[in-house]
């Protein structure tokens, strides 16, 4: 595969000298301005390349131009949708959005380990809230599939979680192509307990009833899971999801497992305290989850595979395992925006990749 000139390779040392959250803020400011300057999006499209038509997939009643999507958490507020589209993403999951605005955890709360393409984060759902994000979604670009990932506010008690998910669903669902229920962030205390079938069943029943009430029966709902469930817990959660009648699963979110960190960095990661890990080291663990989940899922319930995916080959492996689509986050930080085009081209060149 030929490699096009990639300016990120030159900028990366500079970007990585900045504090990660400052780099994020600067990138979003620049991106926000750039996507409004005439010609910038066409240039980005020309440099990255549109997905090969052979990559298109019909999943969940939607036509995805590529199976490679942006995972939740990077564009929480739906600020850069035109840019993501120009980079070649087949879809973008915005959020997590909480019903009311909240600041998230105190900074610093993101840490990178470039030697092993690993990120530790404890953002804690910093969110502008559904009203602001819904206003932006009203002007979303045409021709890009957008998922809305929703969560609960920190101060909302676990037993009142349904009210928060319902409020966020009401505001976001009519403006997106699918909704993801995030019950797996490790950075909102107690959130992951919603994965237990006793808590999950009433939550899903409530959201499905609301979807019906809103006349959105055809809109896919997916549930995003953590990679830290034990095998039996995972099976029970998957069974509860399947029985509920939602359309699919997204797996996985970040992990609490410090064993995925190299010995060189483990002490440093432990000293940094709480947070979820993502990136290359998560790949093996996430793949085990994908394979276990796929064994239990009926064909019509779809899996979006996420966790450590960073190349066309990684994406192809997940798709061959049976995932319908893949999502990336950390690898984009380490490899830069042109990764998406490279993954699309690599996937399109693979003869064993079947639609
Ligand atoms: C800084 C950061 C913030 C994230 N925020 C969210 C979030 O708000 N909601 C969510 O569902 N996942 C969030 N994630 C998890 C990612 O969507 C993804 O599931 C995880 O990073 C594993 O994929 P990766 O190895 O490709 O990064 C976040 C990840 C990172 C690194």
Catalytic residue among 127, 185, 330, 331: 185
Residue 291 CA to residue 340 CA, distance in Å, equals 24
pLDDT at 119: 98
Residue 2 lies in a domain: no
pLDDT at 5 over 90: no
185 annotated active-site = yes
Give the strand pairing for 276-279 and 118-121. Answer: antiparallel
pLDDT at 7: 87
pLDDT at 1 over 80: no
Secondary structure (3-state) at 145: strand
Q: Of all residues in the chain, what percent carry a pLDDT higher than 70?
A: 97
pLDDT at 246: 96
| Each residue's pLDDT tens digit, 7-16 | 898 999 999 9
- Ligand 1 pocket, residue 92 CB under 6 Å: no
pTM greater than 0.95 = yes
Residue 324 lies in a domain: yes
Residue 355 lies in a domain: no
State the residue range of the domain holding 102: 7-349
Ligand 1 centroid to residue 328 C-alpha, Å? 9
pLDDT at 354: 53
Ligand 1 centroid to residue 354 C-alpha, Å? 27
pLDDT at 226: 96
Residue 256 lies in a domain: yes
Mean of all residue pLDDT scores within the chain: 95
Q: Looking at residues 121-131, what average pLDDT do you find?
A: 97
Q: Looking at residues 247-260, what average pLDDT do you find?
A: 97
Residue 69 lies in a domain: yes
Confidence of residue 352 (pLDDT cuts 50, 70, 90): low
pLDDT at 285 over 70: yes
- Looking at the structure of the chain, the number of domains it has is 1
| Each residue's pLDDT tens digit, 190-241 | 999 998 899 999 999 999 999 999 999 999 999 999 999 999 999 999 999 9
Ligand 1 centroid to residue 217 C-alpha, Å? 28
> What does 91-134 look like in DSSP terms, one character per residue?
EEEEEEE-SS-B--SPSP-EEEEGGGTEEEE-----B--HHHHH
pLDDT at 6: 86
Phi, psi of 261 (to 5 degrees): -85, 145
Contact call for residues 48 and 320 (beta carbons, < 8 A)? no
- Ligand 1 pocket, residue 254 CB under 6 Å: yes
- Ligand 1 pocket, residue 279 CB under 6 Å: yes
Ligand 1 centroid to residue 213 C-alpha, Å? 31
Q: Looking at residues 272-289, what average pLDDT do you find?
A: 98
pLDDT at 355 over 70: no
Q: Looking at residues 308-333, what average pLDDT do you find?
A: 98
CA torsion, points 281, 322, 176, 122, in degrees to nearest 10? Answer: -20
Kindly give the number of the ligand 1 atom that is closest to the alpha carbon of 306: 23
Helical segments of the chain, H only: 7-15, 20-34, 40-48, 81-87, 130-137, 161-172, 197-213, 231-244, 263-272, 283-296, 312-321, 330-335, 339-349
Residue 1 lies in a domain: no
- Ligand 1 pocket, residue 328 CB under 6 Å: yes
Residue 269 lies in a domain: yes
CATH code for position 220: 3.20.20.70
Pocket test for ligand 1, best of 24, 92, 278 (most atoms within 8 A of CB): 278
């Amino acid at each position: 595969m030929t490699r096009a000139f990639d300016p990120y390779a030159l900028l990366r040392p500079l970007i990585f000298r900045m504090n990660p959250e400052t780099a994020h803020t600067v990138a979003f400011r620049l991106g926000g301005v750039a996507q409004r300057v005439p010609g910038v999006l066409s240039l980005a499209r020309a440099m990255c390349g549109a997905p090969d038509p052979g990559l298109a997939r019909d999943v969940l009643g939607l036509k995805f131009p590529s199976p490679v999507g942006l995972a939740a958490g990077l564009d929480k507020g739906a600020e850069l949708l035109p840019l993501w589209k120009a980079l070649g993403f087949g879809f973008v999951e915005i959020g997590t959005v909480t019903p009311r605005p909240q600041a998230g955890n105190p900074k610093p709360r993101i840490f990178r380990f470039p030697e092993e393409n690993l990120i530790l984060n404890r953002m804690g759902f910093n969110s502008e809230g559904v009203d602001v994000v819904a206003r932006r979604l009203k002007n979303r670009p045409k021709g890009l599939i957008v998922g809305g990932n929703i969560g609960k506010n920190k101060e909302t008690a676990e037993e009142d979680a349904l009210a928060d998910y319902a409020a966020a669903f009401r505001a976001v669902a009519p403006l997106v192509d699918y909704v993801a229920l995030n019950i797996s962030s490790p950075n909102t205390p107690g959130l992951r307990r919603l994965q237990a079938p006793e808590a999950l069943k009433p939550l899903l029943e409530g959201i499905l009833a609301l979807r019906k009430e809103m006349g959105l029966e055809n809109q896919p709902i997916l549930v995003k899971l953590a990679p830290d469930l034990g095998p039996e817990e995972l099976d029970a959660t998957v069974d509860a999801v399947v029985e509920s009648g939602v359309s699919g699963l997204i797996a996985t979110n970040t992990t609490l497992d410090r064993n995925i960190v190299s010995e060189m960095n483990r002490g440093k990661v432990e000293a940094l305290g709480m947070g979820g890990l993502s990136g290359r080291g998560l790949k093996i663990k996430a793949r085990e989850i994908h394979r276990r989940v796929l064994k239990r899922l009926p064909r019509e319930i779809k899996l979006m595979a996420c966790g450590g995916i960073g190349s066309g080959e990684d994406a192809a492996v997940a798709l061959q395992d049976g995932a319908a689509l893949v999502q990336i986050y950390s690898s984009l930080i380490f490899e830069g925006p042109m990764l998406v085009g490279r993954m699309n081209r690599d996937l399109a060149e693979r003869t064993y990749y079947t639609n």
